[in-house]
Amino acid sequence: MRKAFILMSMLLLAVIVAACGSSEDTGDSGSNNESEEASDSKWSEIQEEGEIVVGTSGTLFPASYYPEGSDEMSGYDVEIMREIADRLGLELKFEEYGVDGLLSAINSGRIDAVINDMEITKDRQEQFAFSEPYKYSYSTMIVRESDLSGIEKLEDLEGKTHGGGATTVFSQIAEHFGAETKTYGNVTNDVYLRDVENGNTDFIINDYYLQSLALKALTDIEVQLHPDLKFHPTNSAIVMPKEAETMKEEIDAVLAEMKEDGTLTELSEEFFGGQDASKEPEEDIREIEGLDL
């Protein structure tokens, strides 16, 4: 009788242990499934709609702008996104925002992604997913022609006024060296440049390619690129919601194709005066120490 009781107890214990194991396995599987569903949901929504909605400024020459006399947006970033959407079999809709409103538009769900020469930073990577880079560059500085705005080195920025967006990396660099930033809405390049010329601001930090081409387009404004300052190497990429892993994989695959077949090089040479911004620069670029981006 005692043996029968012990045997029954052991069988009951085995059933309980098996049940616990089964419960734990189910929990892990459910958690994994939920994670996979979250990563797939954004891409599933886009596929169901047959359309991807992308935020850009429309005022950033030559990345995202309206050519003179045209009501259709173009630019390096814009044409890259058009090619990606086409290869993915999706319609493309652009929504225009000021630079400071682009990332918040992703968080609010108003757009699916952002393409606007957006730099990959550690801080942004904690909040968003980024594609592989489609552009490599570095930062330069626009100053007055007459006196280089009194700037010989980055340490001379202390006490000076920088023109830029409040949430940009370029403003963070300026403020890191003690400058104040005068912020703007969604304005065109000439507004920034004329403020440097007339002394309302002292300098503008931005991407080398964007600044050099803006100066070529606006030759009547007496400003120039600083001849000696090249700093902060950058990678630009498409920004997506943090959980949109499947969407990132799909976009990365197309970007890899475009790099391999020469499409990125062709688009870059078209919009950057024959220069290939899709490849890393060979210049000696200063890294900024102590700046956590």
pLDDT along the chain (293 residues), means of 10: 39 34 40 53 95 96 93 98 98 94 96 96 95 97 98 98 90 96 88 97 94 91 97 96 97 98 98 94 89 77
Predicted pLDDT at 165: 85
Q: Is residue 281 part of a domain?
A: no
Where do the H-state alpha helices sit in the chain?
A: 2-49, 76-87, 102-107, 122-125, 169-176, 189-197, 208-217, 245-260, 263-271
Q: Is residue 2 part of a domain?
A: no
- Provide the terminal-to-terminal Cα distance of the chain, rounded to the nearest Å: 73
Q: Is residue 279 part of a domain?
A: no
Predicted pLDDT at 167: 80
Predicted pLDDT at 36: 52
Do residue 66 and residue 95 come from a single domain? Answer: yes
Any idea what the CATH number is for the domain that residue 176 is in? 3.40.190.10
Q: Give the number of domains in the chain.
A: 2
Q: Which domain holds residue 127?
A: 46-134+237-271
Do residue 184 and residue 248 come from a single domain? Answer: no
Quickly tell me which residue has 């200063």 as its tokens: 286
Do residue 214 and residue 100 come from a single domain? Answer: no
Contact yes or no for 142/182 (Cβ under 8 A): no
Contact yes or no for 205/172 (Cβ under 8 A): no
Q: Is residue 95 part of a domain?
A: yes
Give the phi and the psi of residue 106 in degrees, each rounded to 5: -70, -50
Predicted pLDDT at 281: 87
Do residue 127 and residue 242 come from a single domain? Answer: yes
Q: Is residue 208 part of a domain?
A: yes
Q: Is residue 51 part of a domain?
A: yes
Do residue 114 and residue 242 come from a single domain? Answer: yes
3-state class (DSSP) for residue 284: coil
Distance of CA 173 to the CA centre of its chain: 17
Q: Is residue 105 part of a domain?
A: yes
Do residue 141 and residue 227 come from a single domain? Answer: yes
Do residue 214 and residue 247 come from a single domain? Answer: no
3-state class (DSSP) for residue 91: strand
Predicted pLDDT at 210: 86
Do residue 65 and residue 198 come from a single domain? Answer: no
Do residue 120 and residue 170 come from a single domain? Answer: no
CA-wise closest residue to 255 among 242, 243, 241, 240: 240
Where do the H-state alpha helices sit in 50-144?
A: 76-87, 102-107, 122-125
Q: Is residue 289 part of a domain?
A: no
Do residue 124 and residue 264 come from a single domain? Answer: yes
User: Does a cis peptide bond (omega within 30 degrees of 0) precede residue 62?
Assistant: yes
Do residue 92 and residue 161 come from a single domain? Answer: no
CA-wise closest residue to 128 among 117, 143, 113: 113
CA-wise closest residue to 203 among 140, 272, 141: 141
Do residue 145 and residue 257 come from a single domain? Answer: no
